[in-house]
Structure 1
Amino acid sequence: MDESNLFSDTQDNTNQLNVNLAPSFQQLKLVSTCADDFIVDNKEFQQCLKGCKWSPDGTCVLTNSEDKFLRIFNLDVDDADQCMGLYKTAQIKEGGTIYDYAWHPNVHANENLVLSTSNRSPIHLWNAKDGKLVATYRVYDHVDEVAHVNSLCFNWSGDEIYCGSLGKINIFRTDRPGREFIEIPTKSDFHKTIISTIAMNPVDKSVFAVGTYNKDIGIFGGNQLMYILRGHKSGITQISFSPDGQKLYSGARKGDSDIVCWDLRNIGQTLYSVQRSVTTNQRIYFDISSDGQYLVSGNCTGEISTWRLDDKINSEENSESVLELNSKILIHDDCVNGVSLHPTRSLLATTSGQRHVDFFNDDDDDDCDVDCNNKKSSNHFDASLKLWNII
């Protein structure tokens, strides 16, 4: 592989969406709140959301929640194309705790497709319009039993599915459901740990990155491991490439509150970090605007934090560079675990909630998002999806 072309400055403008965010990103205006769909009539069970993601065409939002449901909410616009809010159109029941979920990058026959993985279940591909199962992909363990994966994503064409689990990466052809896959062992490279998150480079389509619960990040090219990045103090929960493909952002769970920006033009070097509040083992999402100008993250304090990515960097001698905070806005009464910027409009979707010790259930022993140390009054629970105008 030609490493000189690994991170080209040339960008595919057909995949670059134009987002006209307000220059300040100092205020949000609430458009709608969806909470009724997440009410559970069971005092022994605590509901909470676990993230949200806009579809690539921006017509709907996908949510994940503790009750093992994926829900799809459509964007409601009036005749003048003004956003009016969100309304639920479908919901999908998984067999166990949902570990990861992803939108297909393309719309097929006016239908969006959703991929999901859950505890002790195969990988499922769903029709987001009606919630019906489209295809199933199976990974098997050493005794030939169906095993779940912990992370997944599509490649940029949607032709392949990349899945991460304990000590391996599996790659499926989307049009070939079943158990046919390519396997990349990672036990020797990452000390037999779980591949917790996967991201594809938007410019060089042969490059992808993985994060692990062992704190390591791997950069792959042509399905071969090229570099390992180290520096986080806790398990990685999310990684994301910048729109130009030249930087990689990584965030971790409890014990490491920084989002780190890695310079892929100078492998192993960090450009800067930003600081947020992460006091739980669950995944706290961040998002990057498609024009590459803003980084937005949830916090365990009920706030979102924003940073301008061309802003001034504070650095002192013998210390890491830290990007100045642009704004911090209180938007929920509980942990903000999900943030997703609309691909073409000045809209932000957020979700809230976390597991509290009062309601902790140990049925999902291998759910790596469990946090048993969070003690908080049940009067402050907030499990909701909110839609905001960025003004």
Structure 2
Amino acid sequence: MYTQLSEPQLVQTHSISDSAAKYDVFWRSAKWCWDGSAVLATREDNSLQVWNDPSALASSSITIPQPAPVLDAVWYPGARTSDAPSYCFVASIRDTPIRLLDGTNGRLRASYKIIDHVERFVAPHSMAFNCTADKLYCGHRDAIEMFDIQYPGEGERIKTSSSKKSKSGMRGIVSSLAFCPDYSGIYAAGSFTSALWLFAEGQGAQPVCRLKGIASAITQVRPMLRRISAHATQVKFNPAYPQLLYAACRQRNSIYAWDTRNPSAPYATYERKSSTNQKLWIDVDASGTWLVTGGTDGSVSFFNLTSELEVNEPEHSFHAHDDAVGSVALHPIEMKLLTVSGSRHFEETAQVNEGSDSDFKDDVQRHVQRVRPVAFDATMKIWDI
């Protein structure tokens, strides 16, 4: 699959809103379900959106409002519209329990609670199902919470660091999780403190190893940046070569690649335009040949993973949007690509004149400038590739 790339052809375009009142709303991410029969998207306006027929983006969606920002949303493995029991997904909503929602109508099926030391609900920043789809792993501060899907309620806490002051283990928010697709039980966890670790199911907090070398990889390209850390926003295993792992980082143009059999340093980097705090998703095709990612310049880039170069430029790139491409997703079966765009840009509104207090003899006009976020291009597109 995807052995040769052709010039992408735009199939569908859908704007998040035609109303000026929605100037600051855009999609954060969009994901195909297991067989590509549905799309799940997270939005900036505290809502989720599901398309049960991706061939009609403009008319086939349901919107599921949430009480707080959506931190993450993940399809249940094997979810498809033709199988009602499996057609569901989990969503992480700030300060609320994790929700298992029906893909057809957004109905709540179950909830899973993470509670901190002062009895407040904690929403995970990352979630991943294991390969057998019976456990859900959720990353939050200094810990990973594991839930048995069959038993809603509280889960089992795996502490990645013994204390906030501890220098050992993986400290900080566990911002990304991914399971190795070879059913070995190995999973990768990344944090906002530059740490990338491998863990194994059944071994609790005892890590398999630490993936090193992000700092040294940065200094190879930019020797002056010796003390700058990289905050991992996504980790992803190669589906065809499960020993290979990729990590995308905040404020980094490089995507790092490791062979987990040699975790001492990345063996390659892939360069994109991504010097932003916004999470820009990456994807790898089923054959393990192509890595695709969006950029802050509106481009979508394809990297050849069979390259033996240490520093890689895109083999193919095209302009897809007029704003940052926050999410890319390759169709699991067909030669299609799903992209969404949008980011926060701050523009000053027209000046507003306000009269002065009556105590003043002369009228004094104060010019008040209000700054509001604007998304230049909040669209979802499907491409034939």
Do the two structures share a fold, i.e. TM-score over 0.5? yes
Pick from 52, 64, 74 the counterpart of residue 102 of structure 1. 74
Larger radius of gyration: 2
Give the aligned residue type for 2:78.
Answer: N
Pick from 29, 35, 41 the counterpart of residue 51 of structure 1. 29
3-state SS of paired residue (2:147):
strand
Superposed CA offset, 1:28-52 (max 9, x none): 10110111x4455537x61121111
Inter-partner Cα distance in structure 1 for 2:336 and 2:372: 30
Deviation at 1:253, TM superposition (A): 0.8
Q: Alpha carbon RMSD of aligned pairs, Å?
A: 2.2
Inter-partner Cα distance in structure 1 for 2:292 and 2:107: 33
3-state SS of paired residue (2:177):
strand
Give the aligned residue type for 1:162.
Answer: Y
Equivalent residue for 1:305?
Answer: 301
Deviation at 1:190, TM superposition (A): 4.4
3-state SS of paired residue (1:267):
coil
Aligned pair 1:252/2:249, yes or no? yes
Equivalent residue for 1:138?
Answer: 113
Aligned pair 1:216/2:171, yes or no? no
Residue identity over aligned pairs, in percent, reads 30
3-state SS of paired residue (1:208):
strand
Q: Map residues 176-325 of structure 1 onto 2, 5 A cutoff.
A: 176-179=151-154, 181-188=155-162, 189-190=168-169, 192-222=171-201, 223=204, 224-232=206-214, 233-243=229-239, 244-254=241-251, 256-313=252-309, 321-325=310-314
Moved more, 146-155 or 236-245: 146-155
Equivalent residue for 2:41?
Answer: 63
Deviation at 1:111, TM superposition (A): 4.8
Higher RCO, Cα 8 Å, sep 6+: 1
Inter-partner Cα distance in structure 2 for 1:288 and 1:158: 21
Deviation at 1:191, TM superposition (A): 5.6
Equivalent residue for 1:385?
Answer: 380
Deviation at 1:64, TM superposition (A): 0.9
Kept in 2: contact 1:242–1:292 (CA 8 A): yes
Deviation at 1:85, TM superposition (A): 6.1
Deviation at 1:355, TM superposition (A): 1.7
Q: TM-score, normalised by structure 1?
A: 0.81
Superposed CA offset, 1:59-81 (max 9, x none): 0111111011111123456xxxx
Kept in 1: contact 2:213–2:265 (CA 8 A): no
Q: Could you say if the C-alpha distance between residues 377 and 132 of structure 1 is closer, same or farther in structure 2, counting changes exceeding 3 Å?
A: closer
Kept in 1: contact 2:256–2:266 (CA 8 A): yes
Deviation at 1:286, TM superposition (A): 0.6
Equivalent residue for 1:346?
Answer: 335
Equivalent residue for 1:21?
Answer: 2
3-state SS of paired residue (1:225):
coil
Kept in 1: contact 2:200–2:208 (CA 8 A): yes
Q: Could you say if the C-alpha distance between residues 40 and 168 of structure 1 is closer, same or farther in structure 2, counting changes exceeding 3 Å?
A: farther
Pick from 15, 30, 37 the counterpart of residue 10 of structure 2. 30
Inter-partner Cα distance in structure 2 for 1:191 and 1:173: 23
3-state SS of paired residue (2:21):
coil
Inter-partner Cα distance in structure 2 for 1:63 and 1:53: 6
Q: Could you say if the C-alpha distance between residues 65 and 260 of structure 1 is closer, same or farther in structure 2, counting changes exceeding 3 Å?
A: same
Give the aligned residue type for 1:175.
Answer: Q
Give the aligned residue type for 1:329.
Answer: F
Superposed CA offset, 1:98-119 (max 9, x none): 1111000023536511111021
Inter-partner Cα distance in structure 1 for 2:100 and 2:265: 37
Inter-partner Cα distance in structure 1 for 2:285 and 2:236: 11
Give the aligned residue type for 1:192.
Answer: R
Give the aligned residue type for 1:203.
Answer: D
Q: How many residues align?
A: 337
Kept in 2: contact 1:39–1:47 (CA 8 A): no
> What residue ranges of structure 1 are gaps of 5+ in the alignment?
1-19, 78-83, 314-320, 360-374
Give the aligned residue type for 1:185.
Answer: K
Pick from 82, 95, 99 the counterpart of residue 124 of structure 1. 99
Inter-partner Cα distance in structure 2 for 1:86 and 1:346: 21
Inter-partner Cα distance in structure 2 for 1:376 and 1:145: 31
Deviation at 1:328, TM superposition (A): 1.2
> What residue ranges of structure 2 are gaps of 5+ in the alignment?
163-167, 215-228, 349-370
Inter-partner Cα distance in structure 2 for 1:69 and 1:40: 17
Q: Could you say if the C-alpha distance between residues 268 and 281 of structure 1 is closer, same or farther in structure 2, counting changes exceeding 3 Å?
A: same
Give the aligned residue type for 1:31.
Answer: V
Q: Could you say if the C-alpha distance between residues 301 and 26 of structure 1 is closer, same or farther in structure 2, counting changes exceeding 3 Å?
A: farther
Deviation at 1:94, TM superposition (A): 2.0
3-state SS of paired residue (1:295):
strand
Deviation at 1:384, TM superposition (A): 1.1
Give the aligned residue type for 1:98.
Answer: V
Kept in 1: contact 2:170–2:191 (CA 8 A): no
Inter-partner Cα distance in structure 1 for 2:269 and 2:123: 33
